[in-house]
Amino acid sequence: MKDKSGHSWAEPYKIKMVELLRMTTREEREAAIREAGYNTFLLRSRDVYIDLLTDSGTSAMSDRQWAGLMMGDEAYAGSENYYNLEAAVQEYYGYKYLVPTHQGRGAEHLMSQIMIREGDYIPGNMYFTTTRLHQELAGGCFVDVIVDEAHDPGSDHPFKGNVDLAKLEKLVQEVGADHIPYISLEGCVNMAGGQPFSMANLKELNAYCKKHGIPIMLDATRTIENAWFIRRREEGYAEKSIREILREICDLTDGCTMSAKKDLLVNIGGFFACNDEELFLKAQNMVVVYEGLHTYGGLAGRDMEAMAQGLREAVMQEHQDARIGQVRYLGVHLRKAGVPIVRPIGSHAIFLDAKTFLPHLDQDQFPAQTLAAELYLEAGIRSMERGNVSAGRDPETGKNRKPALELVRLTLPRRVYTQAHMDVVVEAVAGVYERRETIQGLKMVYEPEYLRFFQARFEPLQ
Ligand SMILES: *Cc1c(COP(=O)(O)O)cnc(C)c1O
């Protein structure tokens, strides 16, 4: 894979320690997936060969991050690592105030409870599972305002994460800006296939929101990756650094929630950050109820140190070139094999288009769930459903939401797998694709109340 100047990229690190993988037989995998109720979330990690379930908390830390663990100041209050993290967040993201949380949803919980009142509407550039649930639990209602192209897996729009200002304006007209506590803006939109928003779109959004007094709260989880796409694709940004672009994004927003388990290369961690002092004081007070004292928020001191160092590494150009380059490598080769994937190739994962892959299955036979189970059976590769199961039921009608996108996500942990692993994944997906017509769907036999995709169980239909 070549960069713009025609050079191949390579990993900007060498490997110091390895973790051995266990190979399984087809019979062992058949037993394992049956035991797991055909839900890849319920598989045991030891039964998985290449784990592409998620990029959340699965990255490889650097020697410097591991060294940071040894620098953990495990004081209950006022840990030195908290101040190091605060300084790093202020420097790279630019927000004034920081409240650490154990992970992203901890921050979402605080922000939703503080900012949303019963009956409010929260527009966003596509939902995210935990984000929307916390909005709903706080009495709010999520409204999708992403551009239409984001719902079309065949569209090559370079910024499918953009907000459709007309959709936002329609909502403001209908419910009034008073009932919109903030707009939730996600970078490299996960559920759309890791698709970025453009700086031009954010500038327009910022101008619109200023006019109506609506804060922009960033879901900063993959915003550094979003900055990489702006640099690559948007006019006028080729000469700017990822660091500068990240800062420009944050300066156009009012605060953020963060799952540091993604961009920031740590196994656990998150935070809420903002510029408004009143909001900060509320979050700082609430965190002691749900997470821990405001200088550790459910984390060990060492976790905060690893996060601060991870942030310094995440903004490095060569890191993101390799990270996103590896995702591209996988996507390009799958496309060459004729496999239908979401276009264009996004930041953190390849999304197989299960509706096109298994056109003979009805959406209520869970084509994406079925495909994820088949891929595990084929080669021990673990992926994740992002379709009808993840979307859940409409709270009003109780019916399956049946989203336009029915996807299987092959998510790449950062700095973990090699290019040879990617070749194995391509061969396995191509193998399932070849026998696709023989594949039967699933029926759901156990459905938990919240975030059902994590724990639902299935059985084969035939
Ligand atoms: C992972 C994720 C979250 C939730 O963060 P956790 O650390 O898993 O709690 C929120 N938003 C987005 C976009 C995510 O990818």
CA 116–ligand 1 middle distance (angstroms): 19
Q: Is 460 helix (H, G, I), strand (E, B) or coil?
A: strand
CB-ligand 1 contact for 259 (6 Å cutoff)? yes
At residue 123, what is the residue type?
P
Q: How far apart are CA 82 and CA 62, in angstroms?
A: 20
Amino acid at 65: Q
d(CA 107, CA 294): 12
- Beta partners for residue 443, in sequence order: 459
14 is catalytic: no
What average pLDDT does the segment 300-304 reach? 98
What is the CB neighbour count within 10 angstroms for residue 393?
14
- Alpha carbons 377 and 8: distance in angstroms, whole number: 34
333: how many CB neighbours lie within 10 A of its CB? Answer: 20
Which of 262, 307, 451, 453 gets mutated to test ligand 1 (max ligand atoms within 8 A of its CB)? 262
Q: Residue 54: CB within 6 Å of ligand 1?
A: no
What does the alpha-carbon distance between residue 446 and residue 458 come to, in Å, rounded to a whole number? 7
Tell whether ligand 1 has an atom less than 6 A from the beta carbon of residue 186. yes
Atom of ligand 1 nearest to the CA of 54: 1
Average pLDDT over residues 197-214: 98
Give whole-number Cα distances, 314 to 12, 296, 383, 415, in Å. 12, 22, 24, 11
Residue 262 annotated among the catalytic residues of the structure: yes
Supply the DSSP string of 405-435, one letter for each residue: --EEEEEPPTT---HHHHHHHHHHHHHHHHT
User: What is the Å distance from ligand 1's center to 128 Cα?
Assistant: 8
List Cβ neighbours of 155 (8 Å cut-off, separation of 6 or more): 149, 343
pLDDT category at 9 given cuts 50, 70, 90 is confident
In this structure, are residues 414 and 323 in contact, taking their beta carbons and an 8 Å threshold? yes
Q: What is the residue-wise DSSP string for 194-260?
A: SBPPPHHHHHHHHHHHHHHT--EEEEGGGHHHHHHHHHHHSTT-TTS-HHHHHHHHHHTSSEEEEET
The predicted-structure confidence for 338-347, as pLDDT tens digits, reads as follows 999 999 999 9
Helices (H) then strands (E): counts for the chain: 16, 14
Q: Domains for the chain: give ranges and CATH numbers.
A: 26-55+317-460 (3.90.1150.10), 63-314 (3.40.640.10)
Distance CA 215, CA 95 (A): 14
Q: By three-state DSSP, how is residue 38 classified?
A: coil
3-state secondary structure of 130: helix
Cα gap 125→129, rounded to integer Å: 13
128 annotated active-site: yes
| pTM of the model as a whole | 0.94
The residue annotated as part of the active site, out of 95, 237, 272, 453, is 453
3-state SS, 54-114, equals CCCCCCCCCHHHHHHHHCCCCCCCCCHHHHHHHHHHHHHCCCCEEEEECCHHHHHHHHHHH
pLDDT score of 4: 65
* Ligand 1 close to Cβ of residue 134 (< 6 A): no
Q: Average pLDDT of 375-401?
A: 94
Q: Which pLDDT belongs to residue 191? A: 87
Average pLDDT, integer, range 438-453: 95
Per-residue pLDDT tens digits for 247-280: 999 999 999 999 999 999 999 999 999 999 999 9
- In the structure, what pLDDT confidence band is assigned to residue 3 with cuts at 50, 70 and 90? low
**Structure confidence by residue, pLDDT tens digits, 147-200:** 999 999 889 999 999 999 999 999 999 999 999 999 999 999 998 889 999 999
Name the pLDDT band for 7 (thresholds 50, 70, 90). confident
**For residue 1, pLDDT beyond 70:** no
Identify the band that residue 244 occupies on the pLDDT scale cut at 50, 70 and 90: very high
Give yes or no for residue 128 CB within 6 A of ligand 1.
Answer: yes
What is the rounded average pLDDT of the residues 51-62? 98
Q: Is 105 a catalytic residue?
A: no
Q: Reply yes or no on whether the pLDDT at 5 is more than 90.
A: no
Select which of 22, 76, 446, 450 is catalytic: 76
Instruction: For residue 259, give the ligand 1 atom closest to its CA.
Output: 7
Cα separations in angstroms, 444 against 5, 30, 118, 365, 376: 50, 18, 32, 9, 18
Predicted pLDDT at 61: 98
Residue in the structure block whose two tokens are 């109780």: 398
State both tokens at 373: 């189970």
Q: Identify whether the C-beta of residue 145 lies closer than 8 Å to the C-beta of residue 123.
A: yes
Active site residue 453: yes
Q: Whose CA is nearest to atom 8 of ligand 1?
A: 104
- The secondary structure of residue 270, as a DSSP letter, is E
- Going by C-alpha positions, the residue among 16, 89, 84 that lies closest to residue 302 is 84
In whole angstroms, give the CA distance from residue 303 to residue 273: 17
Note the Cα 437 to chain centre separation in Å. 31
- Cα-based distances in Å from 201 to 38, 156, 191, 229, 290: 40, 17, 19, 14, 35
Average pLDDT taken over every residue of the chain: 96
Residue from 47, 55, 120, 219 carrying the catalytic annotation: 219
**Distance in angstroms between the alpha carbons of the first and the last residue of the chain:** 43
Question: How far is it, in rounded angstroms, from Cα 415 to Cα 133?
Answer: 31
**DSSP β-ladder status, 216-219 and 183-186:** parallel
β 407-411/384-386 pair status:
antiparallel
